């Protein structure tokens, strides 16, 4: 019986427990590619919510305040800079309303800055409708975050400060290999101290890629080299490779080639345009490994294209999962680590316990110690903490694996580090430490295998296949069966991008069992490359791969599958404009909503029958969704609730007059979010003799 494997699967209860806890807390607190094949399914279909009644048109002042076809959250300072990608076959577009800051003609994208006085909404609506434009999006901010201690260090302290080297079994690895001069590691960061005595001998030609406005170029004394004036990039570099000094300090590698790619400003800030451009530069200049100890909470077409470009050209991209404020790690792996093709690295402490500042989620692949002793600007050293310092340890190990096993492809190097990692924190894969903490000694002494999931030949031994990740394995022969568990936090769809490294005539069969139910099984035959879109229920489902019965050439076939999840459309859908606004009764009922597409806003309408008080609350249970709550009065005035700190909720309380109030829920960054939000609107009439005051009592800011 196939169903019994679900009863003992550890991972199957993780997301469910989180969701149940969130609901309890809520109620308690309230007292190119192949066309996708859309699979038919016996699963329950999404319900359709009711739209507002006919005649509920938006008042004219509201039309002017928030045009519904401007798909970005208002209030970003970044809206002054925009990325415009134009379509192939068209010339570069020109316009008098903006300054062109930079252009990449090869990839047909440019960064522009709107002139003062140009309204972003009006400009965007006009440009987004042009036939030569592929997409337009704001150039959003990127940041680095780590904590360091610059106190003076004495020689006797060095060994203790580098205790993490023993934790990752570095000395055992050094007995096998301690350098790789044949590859180049690109560090996309604040630059590197080009004159640091322990680093300078390992630097190859780098570049300064930060984009400046004309005003900044005139005002600032800009150093055109990738010199580090912040320290973060130098700290990352010293973890990877550094000459040994008289105190015994050393990097993980004794020798390697480091390419400094300066994409972050001296204050630690940057932009998605510059970071993605740094990835393209590193790939085009023969980097083998790219290290990104930077992160941001939003998805980006431009960034996704860049990491896919790196994967297509055989470059291994390694990125930190990101840090939240110390002690408040968030279930929100930062981008670009959250992309399936990027190896996402979190942090553990000296006891191999999950570091509380380390962002976690299904995208986590590996972890490494978060606290290191490393090089700093000015020829110095410092103690630093953060996932930023865990990622370069994995990059150094990848370099040694490439040296020891030069026949491995980048995806096989990734697999080998996962295969040889030490399982820590929770047994098996978990969303906090991924597949485990790197073990350098094991990685260099264990022969690589094509199938790192060799034991997954039955439902009971199915290997975890978290959403937003990638697996690479092999079917050895016709008798081989590979089983994987896919855990989805909600119902929705998964997109499986499948690629066989050896084409087959009849191919292999992929069978999908929703919640392990054989009665709902669906089988698809893959000959070379395929994209499947499958409806999935909440919880653990099963995937089986095997040779097609008719296939005669049953020699080993390596395969690669990328797994992407998309949450269901909520029961209020479609309610993404004022005309479609879903009616609220004001009775305190919980409305469960989802933002299943990028740049989506959910609209609701409440008709106040008489003077009273209206309380609106929207809450979520992880920081993956950063809710913004907008309220429009009958007069068209806008109020925005947008608080930055946990708990992740927005609340608005005000006295109301009779009339129509519009309520809008959206994600601050406009992401498609695989989380639910919970909306509650509670209306209570005023006691007799109380006036219809409309003063705001909620936190937030008042819009124009």
Catalytic site includes residue 388: yes
Catalytic one of 388, 473, 541, 564: 388
Q: Which backbone phi and psi does 461 adopt, to 5 degrees?
A: -105, 20
Q: Which two tokens stand for residue 657?
A: 């007059």
- Torsion angle, alpha carbons of 258, 263, 266, 272, to 10: -150
What is the arrangement of strands in the sheet containing 289-292, beginning at the earlier edge strand?
207-208, 255-262, 179-189, 289-292, 316-320, 343-348, 366-369
Candidates 480, 482, 460; CA nearest to 472 is 482
Q: Specify whether the CB–CB gap between 602 and 576 falls below 8 A.
A: yes
| Rounded Cα gap, residues 664 and 463, in angstroms | 41
Catalytic site includes residue 300: no
Candidates 398, 409, 478; CA nearest to 450 is 409
- In the three-class reduction of DSSP (H, G, I as helix; E, B as strand; rest coil), residue 365 is classed as coil
Catalytic site includes residue 285: no
Q: Specify whether the CB–CB gap between 687 and 639 falls below 8 A.
A: no
| Rounded Cα gap, residues 564 and 156, in angstroms | 49
Q: What is the DSSP letter of 86?
A: E
Q: What angle do CA 637, 642, 646 make, to 5 degrees?
A: 155
Catalytic one of 189, 193, 570, 602: 189
| Rounded Cα gap, residues 334 and 340, in angstroms | 12
Catalytic one of 196, 232, 403, 596: 232
Task: Please identify which residue in the block is written with the tokens 């609107």.
Answer: 681
Q: Specify whether the CB–CB gap between 385 and 370 falls below 8 A.
A: yes
At a CB cut-off of 8 Å and minimum separation 6, what does 116 contact?
none
| Rounded Cα gap, residues 42 and 113, in angstroms | 50
By annotation, the residues acting in catalysis are 189, 232, 388
């Amino acid at each position: 019986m196939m169903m019994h494997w679900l009863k003992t699967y550890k991972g199957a209860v993780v997301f469910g427990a989180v969701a149940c806890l969130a609901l309890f807390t809520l109620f308690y607190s309230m007292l190119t590619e192949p066309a996708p094949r859309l699979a038919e399914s016996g699963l329950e279909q999404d319900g359709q919510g009711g739209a507002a009644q006919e005649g509920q048109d938006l008042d004219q002042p509201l039309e002017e305040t928030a045009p519904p076809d401007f798909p970005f959250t208002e209030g970003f300072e970044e809206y002054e800079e925009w990325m415009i990608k134009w379509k192939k076959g068209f010339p570069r577009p020109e316009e008098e309303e903006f300054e062109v800051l930079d252009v990449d003609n090869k990839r047909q994208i440019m960064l522009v800055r709107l002139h003062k006085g140009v309204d972003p909404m009006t400009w965007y609506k006009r440009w987004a409708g042009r036939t030569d434009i592929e997409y337009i999006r704001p150039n959003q901010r990127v940041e680095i975050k780590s904590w360091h201690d610059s106190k003076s260090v004495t020689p006797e302290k060095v060994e203790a400060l580098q205790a993490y080297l023993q934790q990752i079994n570095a000395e055992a690895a050094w007995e096998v290999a301690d350098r790789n001069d044949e590859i180049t590691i690109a560090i996309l960061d604040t630059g590197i101290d080009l004159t640091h005595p322990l680093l300078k001998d390992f630097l190859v030609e780098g570049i300064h890629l930060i984009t400046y406005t004309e005003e900044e170029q005139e005002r600032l004394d800009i150093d055109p080299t990738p010199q580090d004036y912040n320290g973060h990039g130098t700290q990352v570099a010293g973890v990877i490779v550094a000459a040994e000094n008289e105190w015994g300090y050393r990097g993980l590698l004794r020798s390697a080639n480091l390419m400094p790619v300066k994409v972050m400003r001296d204050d630690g800030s940057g932009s998605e345009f510059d970071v993605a451009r740094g990835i393209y530069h590193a790939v085009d200049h023969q980097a083998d490994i790219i290290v990104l100890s930077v992160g941001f909470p939003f998805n980006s077409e431009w960034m996704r294209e860049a990491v896919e470009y790196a994967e297509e050209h055989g470059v291994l991209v390694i990125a930190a999962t990101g840090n939240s404020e110390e002690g408040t790690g968030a279930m929100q792996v930062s981008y670009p680590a959250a992309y399936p093709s990027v190896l996402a690295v979190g942090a553990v402490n000296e006891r191999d316990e999950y570091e509380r500042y380390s962002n976690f989620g299904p995208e986590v692949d590996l972890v490494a110690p978060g606290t290191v002793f490393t090089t700093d600007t000015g020829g110095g050293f410092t103690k630093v903490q953060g996932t930023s310092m865990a990622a370069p340890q994995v990059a150094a190990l990848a370099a040694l694996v490439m040296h020891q096993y030069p026949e491995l492809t980048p995806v096989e190097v990734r697999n080998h580090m996962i295969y040889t990692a030490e399982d820590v924190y929770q047994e098996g894969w978990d969303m906090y430490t991924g597949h485990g903490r790197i073990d350098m000694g094991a990685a260099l002494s264990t022969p690589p295998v094509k199938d790192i999931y060799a034991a997954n030949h039955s439902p009971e031994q199915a290997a975890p296949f978290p959403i937003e990740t990638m697996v690479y394995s092999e079917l050895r022969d016709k008798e081989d069966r590979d089983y994987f568990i896919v855990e989805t936090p909600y119902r929705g769809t998964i997109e499986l991008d499948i690629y066989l490294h050896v084409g087959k005539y009849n191919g292999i069969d992929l069978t999908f069992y929703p919640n392990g139910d054989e009665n709902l099984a669906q089988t698809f035959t893959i000959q070379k490359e395929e994209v499947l879109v499958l409806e999935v229920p909440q919880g653990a489902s099963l995937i089986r791969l095997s040779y097609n019965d008719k296939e005669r050439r049953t020699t080993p076939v390596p395969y690669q599958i990328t797994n992407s999840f998309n949450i269901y459309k909520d029961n209020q859908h479609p309610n993404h404009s004022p005309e479609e606004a879903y009616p609220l009764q004001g009775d305190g009922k919980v409305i469960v909503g989802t933002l299943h597409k990028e740049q989506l806003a959910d609209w609701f309408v409440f008709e106040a029958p008489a003077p009273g008080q209206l309380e609106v609350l929207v809450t979520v249970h992880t920081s993956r969704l950063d809710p913004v709550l907008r309220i429009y009065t009958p007069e068209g005035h806008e109020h925005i609730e947008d608080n930055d700190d946990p708990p992740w909720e927005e609340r608005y309380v005000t006295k109301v007059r009779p009339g129509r109030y519009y309520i809008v829920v959206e994600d601050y960054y406009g992401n498609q979010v695989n989380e639910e939000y919970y909306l509650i609107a509670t209306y209570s009439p005023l006691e007799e003799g109380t006036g219809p005051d409309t003063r705001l009592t909620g936190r937030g800011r008042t819009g124009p």
